[in-house]
Every structure is written in C-alpha cells, then in structure tokens.
Chains A and B, each alone.
Chain A
Amino acid sequence: MRIALPIIAVSLAAGSIAQAREQAHLAFVACPIVQDTPTVPCWLAEYRGVTYYMGIQSDVSAEFNPPSLGHKVLVEGTITDREVCGATVIDPIKISIMPELSPECDEMRPVRKGIDLGFEPPRPPGPSNGRLAFSYPAPPPVPKPPYEPKTYVVPYDFEGMVGFRTPRVMTPALDYAQLSHAGTIEVKGYRGATLLSDGTLLKEHKGIAHERAEEIADMFRGAGLEKVKFLVTADEEAAEGGPENRRVEIKVVP
C-alpha cells in the first residue's frame, strides 16, 4: 500500500494534468460578436456560458485577422486566465470563418463603460500612427548555392482555400524556385479534422486535399513557372488534430 499510494497519486496527478490540458484547450463553433470600444473593436465568442476574447481589429498583416458577422467561426485555442474586453482570452488562437452564411450571427455590442482593451492597439481605427497595413517582417536572406530541396508549408483555415494570407508562403517558395531554377515542385495537399470540445468531429470535405494541391500548382504556373514539372498528390484521410493538419506541403527541388 505504501508503494501503491504514490502510484495512484502519480496517476491522479497525471490525470488531472491531462484534464487540465484538455480543459485549457478549446475548440468550438459559434457566432462571433463585435464588442465596440473607444478605439478598435474586440471580437468575442460565447461558448457554454463563457465569453471568450479572440482578438482585435488591426491590419492586413496582423497575426490575428478577425472573423465575419454573417458567418460562424471555428475557434481553436488555449484558455488563459487573462481578460480583455471583459472576456477570457484564448491564446494562442486559430480561427476559421465557416463558409456557409449564418445571418443569425449579427451581434454588435456598443461601447460600454468598463469594457476596453486595456492596452494601446497597434493600429487605431483612424489614421494609422505610421503603421502600414502591410508591415511584414523583413524577408530572410537570399539563399545561396548550392541549392538544396526546400520545403514550404501553406496553412489553411477550416475548409479554406487560397486567400490573402497565402502569398506570405507562396512568394518565398516562388522566389526560391526561380532562383534555384527548380526542375520539379512536389505539391501535396492534406485534409484536416477538428475534434470540438463537445465531442463532435468536424471534418473538412473529402477532396479538399486534392483541390488545395491543384490550386497551389496552378498558382505557381500562373506566376510564371510554366516549365517546371509539378508532382501533385493528396492525402484525403481527414487527420484528426489541430489547424496544422490543414495544409499543403511544397517541396521545391532544384
């Protein structure tokens, strides 16, 4: 028994850690809510009686891009003990605007005393304080020969295809393909599935892995890589996990 107790305690501790982790991770689909503030709006969502903070309106190149009224949002992230705009912060967070229209998602909460950001937004709603809409980090140094095969990963929103964020990955991949005179580019698409906190498994539609891979290959061709050989494949198994499973891998082979 003296030996057994610690084992139980250990397993209890391990169980509570796992439970805590499980509780800390959250995945749900809900209507987004706009909470106006004296500066930029906060974006919130409610799930099981708790109001969560997703992020703020900023600019095109910001890490967090807000969702859309008129559509539900898939939220995947980790609960924190912080509060912004009177709501519990999810951080890190990944959101996806669900493609189908949901006109019931239409709540805009006006400015209220006591509801604020608690920090200076990087980009106010009016004049930009000098921050441009496109302030990306400096590009990495130009690769030098010998050129080796190099892999790039294009991330996707749930059920997402190419969008305004895609060039952030595509442009360096294109640059490298042109610089290294790539003869072949391997493009492999993947399909994701997200286990929601209520136990529902949300799968992307079958075929999306192939559609993604073909679209990426077409983008390269359209951007001038007409003579490159493209090997396009897809894995249509809906891999259960997080946003990382929704991706296209690009391997540039000089």
Chain B
Amino acid sequence: MSRSTRSGNESRDRLLRKSNRLIAVLIPGALALFSAIALAAGPDGAPHWWAPGSGKVLPAYAVYANPDGHVGILNADGPVDTKGHPFFEPLGTNGRACVSCHQPADGMALSLGSIRQRWDETRGKDPIFAMIDGANCPNLPPDDPASHSLLLKRGLFRVALPWPPKDHAGNPIEPEFDIEVVRDPGGCNTDPQYGLTSSHPMISVYRRPRVVANLQYVTQTKFGAGPFVGKTGMPADRDPDTGKPLNMNMMADARFSTLKLQMADAAHNHLQFDKLTPEQMARIEAFERQVYSAQVDMGPGGSLIEEDGPPGLGPFNLRDGDKGVLGDNTTRWVIPMGDAWQKPKPGETPQERAMRESILRGQHIFHFRTFWIRNSMHLNTVGLGNPTKRTCATCHGMHMTGMDAVNGWMDIGTTNLPWAKEAPRNPWQTEDELMPLFKITCSRSVHPHPYYGRVIYTQDPGRALISGKCNDVGTIVMQQFRGLAARAPYFSNGSAQNLRELIDFYDRRYNIQFSEQEKVDLENFLSAL
C-alpha cells in the first residue's frame, strides 16, 4: 500500500465529529466532560501556535492536526489554566516560555513546520528566534534568515557547552581527547567571543528540542537506574535532592538528569532568565509529569484509540501503562498491539483496514526483523558482540516508549562521519554543509575508540562534551518514540526530515535491505505512535 492514506487538510466539522466519536468510546459520560476537551488544532489553517502568556486553558484532552492525522495531548490531572503558569508565561527577558519550544500541537516538542510558519508570520520576530540560541551565533545579524539557517532548515537550537567539560560541582574534567574545529558555517565555534578560543572556551552544537510529555516513562528509576551506568560502568548521576541514582535518559547528552536541573538550565540558557523559584519549579514539574502525548488517528486511516484498539497506542494507554518496564516481547511488548485489528470490523473503511494492517506489519517488523547491528558504541560494546544479530526492539526496548531501558547514549552514526548526513562536495554543488565539523583526536593514554580509532570527525561530539571520554564521541541519548508524526524532523541534529528518511538512515547504516513494503509499514507504525 502507499502512504496515500495520510490525511490532508480535513474540515473542522469532520474533526469535531471524529473527536466526539472518540470521546464517546473513551470516556463514560463524555458529554458531561466535553467542556474539558477541545479540538485545539485548526485544520483549516486556524492558529495552532501556543503563544507564551496567552492565558488560555489547555484542555484535559486536545487533538491537533499533523501530516499523518492527529496527535492527542492528555492532561491526566485535568485542564491546565495557563494564566500565570510558569510553563506558559514568558518569564525570561526574551519573551519565551517553556511552551515556546514544547508546543502542544507538536506533541510537546517543536516541529520544523511550526518554526517556519512562525518565521513567516512574524518575519523572524517570534521569541523562538532569539539570538541567544535561535541563531547560529548570537553575533550574527538578526532577522536575516541566513543567521537562523540551522533553525529554519533543520529545527536546531544552539547549545553552548564549556570546554573542557566541567563536572556538576563545576570542576574541570580532563578530557581524553583534543578537539579542533574543521568547519564552522555558523561561525560560533571560531568566534573570538563565543568560540573555542574565547576567554571562556565554548563549543556550540545544534540540537532539536525534546518532547516534554510522557515523562513518567522518561524519568523512571524503576529499571536500569543503578549507582553505575549499565553500559560504561561509570558512576551514574544522582538526584541532588535525594542522593538516589538517576536514569540519565532525558537530554541528548545527559548533562542534566532531573527535571529541576533541566528547567533551571533551560531558564538560564534558553529563556535568559535568572532563576526559577522553588514554587515555579514545582508547578512546572507537576505539569510535566502529568501530560501525555501520542498520535490518536491516522486521518482516513482511522482512529488509533478506539476502546478495543491496540493497548500500546494513544495517550490514554500511555497514561495507564506500566512505567519503567523493559519490554520482554512476549508478555510486555515494547509497543503492544494486543489482539486489536486482527479482523475487519463492522463499519471499517477500506482505508482504515489497509492502514491498520500496515501498522500491524510495521509493529511486527519493529520486533522481529533481524539485521546486523555493527560498530555502534554502547550497543556493540555491552556484551552482545560486534556485530549482533538483533531487531529494532533490541535497543528501543522500553515498554510503551521505545526508549533505551538503561542510561541510553549510543552512537549510531547520526553525528559521526562517515555515517552522518553530509552534503557531498563537488564542483557543481551550490549548497554548503550546514553543520559544524570537529576533529577529535583521542589521547595516547587511553585505548583508541574501538570503531573509529584515534581520529574521529563529528558534527556533534554528543555525550563526550560532558564526559570527556573518547568512547562517548557522537553518542546521543535516544529519544522516546511517541508523537513522532507531530514533530519532524528527527534525530538530535534534525538530519532526517521525515520518517522515511529516518528509516532510510537505518537501512543504509546497518545494511538492513528493507523492502519498499517494509519501509511503508514501518513508517506507518512509527507515525501511529
């Protein structure tokens, strides 16, 4: 089947009807609760952007259109009055709030489509384009699209990190490698004020905002969170409030592992705001811990959240699911489908039937299709052998989210050459490569990197900028799989513009040799999450 079952622009009435139908099967007494539920996306082009300080109420359940159907945002604690709420108010000096980069319509992340739309609508004046990190470098001319090219083309914000790295107490860590700037299209890494040779040496890398939803899964400490990191043996981060070990699966480089530390960092570095009060932190954390995000329908491909639907799909199942469980793929599948959709249902359209069969096949591929996983740091080094014959679900093993079950930074080649996306040079090429490029030279005092040797070229050293470890170069903490259709592009560096490009990356990287049908099915499955 083709991907023609994706929804196009649907009418608001149709979406309302669909929403009411879904509510009716989901929530007893749904009509009484209708005031708490809203169709918050405008399929006819009505604004879906949640502006900081708008003071609106975020309903208990809201659905928003995306290219594959709709994503649902579920507030398990009920409607959220955003007036005065620190997640939604522009507390900082640049007009941003947390919601600026964690938009409900984008599955509580930020899609490239939304970024471009905001540029067009505000002529680059929206706070998300603040020069601090919404530009390739703060000293570039504002309002010029070229200054914001990484945000406008890849959805990437600048993350400036000290070099050499510092531990949580602020003490410098002696890195196991030297770093050299090979290419710096944004100009920040070679800038005398912001770069590596400045008085406060910094390295700028460019990354996508992550999902602020389903965080009960992301921050769980029930499984895989011990005093030592399961993949490296090194000490794990501990919660400064409790002293207990954390799972370190939240940020791309795991530089902070609690919501409080992350929000304090974001307030300072993204909102240009001095300090959140304990009360503000508590309110933000309370909101973040109760919000769930997942795709709820596939447009003409049908609902994903009917009462007898798959137990792994939709935000309601996420709310009710077991948190902190490693999928065993017999009783607890990573993404369970149960007995749903095995047979045609009365009233099911051919498009719905076709999509559901495709999603089921995609789920099967995700769990069963073996391929050789090779030369991936912190996967092939943790006892499975190199190569190891396994499936997608091997690494993406966390029940309901497809995250890693233990501290999950891993190098699959998204930022390291030769696998990272690079514009090939030739005499006819008109577009320069967007991403910076660094040369890493590992010290003779440590073993060479087992797959790259002592010299590594990377667009983003990832975790290594925090740990200083040669073996961590290019390792990125894997993300949750939910609400994918709402938040393209993918990977930490936005190098996959859509899910097909993401699948193609894996196909190329691991020589999987997916058939066209397998790619379509896997894409539909991922879109349905």
Contacts and interface: CB of A to CB of B under 8 A. Distances in A.
A interacts with B: yes
A125 B390 CA distance: 5
A167 B227 contact: yes
A132 interface: yes
B386 A99 contact: no
Given A69-B374, A99-B448, A223 B386 contact: no
A204 B453 CA distance: 20
Nearest to A55: B385
A126 B391 contact: yes
Given A41-B389, A66-B386, A174-B227, 19 more contacts: A57-B388, A59-B383, A60-B384, A61-B383, A65-B385, A68-B381, A97-B450, A127-B330, A127-B391, A128-B329, A134-B230, A163-B232, A163-B381, A167-B230, A170-B227, A170-B228, A171-B226, A219-B234, A224-B227
Interface string A120-139: 00000111111111100000
Closest 10 CB pairs of A and B: A66-B385, A222-B235, A127-B329, A68-B386, A65-B383, A166-B233, A167-B228, A99-B447, A162-B233, A223-B227
Nearest to B388: A57
B448 A57 contact: no
- Mostly, the B contact residues are loop
B380 interface: yes
Residue with the highest number of chain A CB atoms closer than 10 Å, among B330, B380, B386:
B386
Contact of A132 (B245, B328, B383): B328
A70 B386 contact: yes
B323 to A, nearest CB: 16
B367 interface: yes
A43 B232 contact: no
A166 B391 contact: no
B448 to A, nearest CB: 6
Interface in A205-220: 219
A119 interface: no
A173 to B, nearest CB: 10
A76 interface: no
30 contacts: A34-B385, A57-B384, A65-B383, A65-B385, A66-B388, A67-B386, A68-B380, A68-B450, A70-B386, A101-B450, A108-B372, A126-B329, A126-B368, A132-B326, A133-B405, A134-B224, A134-B406, A163-B232, A164-B233, A164-B383, A165-B233, A166-B233, A167-B230, A171-B228, A219-B233, A219-B234, A221-B235, A222-B234, A223-B245, A224-B227
Contacts, number: 135
Nearest to B383: A65
Contact of A224 (B243, B367, B372): B243
Interface of A: 34, 36, 40-41, 43, 57-62, 65-71, 97, 99-101, 108, 125-134, 159, 161-167, 170-171, 174, 219, 221-224
- Mostly, the A contact residues are loop
A99 B447 CA distance: 6
Contact of B233 (A58, A61, A131, A170): A170
Interface of B: 224, 226-236, 238, 243, 245, 326, 328-331, 367-370, 372, 374-375, 380-391, 393, 397, 405-406, 447-448, 450-451, 453
A133 B226 contact: no
B385 A68 contact: yes
B114 to A, nearest CB: 37
B453 A131 contact: no
Given A57-B385, A167-B233, A222-B234, A131 B328 contact: yes
A159 B368 CA distance: 37
Residue with the highest number of chain B CB atoms closer than 10 Å, among A62, A128, A159:
A128
Contacts of B406: 134
A130 B330 contact: yes
B35 to A, nearest CB: 44
Nearest to A160: B447
A148 B136 CA distance: 59
A126 B367 contact: yes
